[in-house]
Amino acid sequence: MINQLNQQLERVDDLKSGDICTEFIFEQKAILGSGTYGKVYKMKSKFDNQYYAVKCIKKQNEKEGFPITSLREIKFLTTLDQENVIKIKQIYTRVKKNKNKIKTIKTYCAMDLMANDFWKLLAKNEEQKFYFTTNQIRSILYQCFKGLQYIHSQNIIHRDIKSANILVNEIGVVKIADFGLAKFCPKKEGVKKTPTVVTLGYRAPEVLLTRGQYNFQIDVWSMGCFAVELNFNRPLFKAKDEAQQIQQIFEKCGTPTAETWPEIMKSDYFIKLNPQRYDRKFISSIRNMKKDFDDELLDLLDKIFVLNPNVRLTVEQVLQHPFFKNHNLNLCFEQFQEYLIKRNVNLEKVITLIQKPVQKDIDFII
């Protein structure tokens, strides 16, 4: 079905599904944020009296065109349906003309209203010197990987997994959001894609070194970066540019060799880079940051932070790891809920003016 949408949905006007409502049934309550293409509102539905996050995408005229990132998000989120993936509940388009007959088209997308994103939560944790427990992290990551498993099962690569795009509601349900960079991709090797995707600190080595030769494994790497961030309230990699990002990855994960990653030896970019030789010391580098780091989680991350994507764990393998399989996940979820209650995490109190990390260097996404 996603493939059919990908082929047929060239303009937002082509949407003909039952998700489009003929009447605008929402009442504005507050502005939650704004971006390049519009604003996000907290609105109350007149139909079910529930609150939703409603994204308003605005364009002034037909020539302006519909933002490609917004179009992608609409295409995917009207179709995807899993509890750990954000979903567009309803779409409404409103057209108005001013005195000069200039047409303004506003497209409203109603989605689940979430309490917060983890980028803000972790910033608040760091400010107050609070850290998630291992069980709380286990619950968060299990939900994330379940959502990612579903996304990949639909032949979609998210391409921008990061803490700012992982949301949580007031009862502890975690959802993956922001599909503006996502791509439908049949599981074929050797398909060249946009080389510069994923926010820099979460960017997998194959994105940095192959210039477009990557697959679903880039999302697993990015989720691993998020897992480390949950432990330390800060990113594992914090580079200023791609060269520094590659350097930081090699320092922790070792420099690839013909034995560990034979395919990369053929990369023109890697050959020109001629990187300094580093031995792998991922486990010791994490232990140096936190001596009592959970053993099972460290083993899982050691298998995720593998340079060669063909050897790196898949999302299915991650979910079978002892870090999840050997524990009571319902108990972990309850402990995460306790955190949300104790910390009084809710939408109105945590929204701040802190600037989120953004992806700036993408000219055109394919």
Exposure string of 181-212, with b = 16+ CB inside 10 Å and e = fewer, is bbbbbeeeeeeebbebbbbbbbbbbbbbbbbe
How far is residue 154 from each of residues 77, 174, 182, measured CA to CA in Å?
12, 19, 12
59 labelled binding-site residue: yes
Q: Give the separation between CA 176 and CA 151, rounded to whole angstroms.
A: 9
Q: Token digits for 227?
A: 């897992």
Cα(184)–Cα(215) distance, integer angstroms: 11
Cα(323)–Cα(135) distance, integer angstroms: 10
Instruction: Give the N- to C-terminal CA distance of the chain in Å, as an integer.
Output: 19
Q: Which residues pair with 28 in a beta bridge?
A: 43
Catalytic residues, by residue number, are 160
Q: Which of 224, 234, 232 is nearest to 299 (CA)?
A: 224
Q: What's the maximum distance between 2 C-alpha atoms anywhere in the chain?
A: 69
Alpha helical stretches, state H, the chain: 2-8, 68-77, 118-127, 134-153, 205-210, 217-232, 242-253, 268-273, 282-289, 295-304, 315-319, 322-325, 329-342, 347-350
For residue 24, what are its two tokens?
């605008």
Assign residue 318 a region: left if phi > 0, alpha if psi is -120 to 50, beta otherwise?
alpha
Query: Taking each helix axis from N to C terminus, what angle separates 217-232 and 134-153, rounded to the nearest 10 degrees?
Result: 160
The dihedral through the CA atoms of 110, 333, 289, 222 has a sign that is negative
Distance, in Å, from the CA atom of 152 to the CA atom of 315, rounded to the nearest integer, reads 8
> Which of 141, 81, 145, 153 is closest to 297 using CA atoms?
141
Q: Which residues fall in the annotated binding site? A: 59
Q: Which residues fall in the annotated binding site for ATP? A: 59
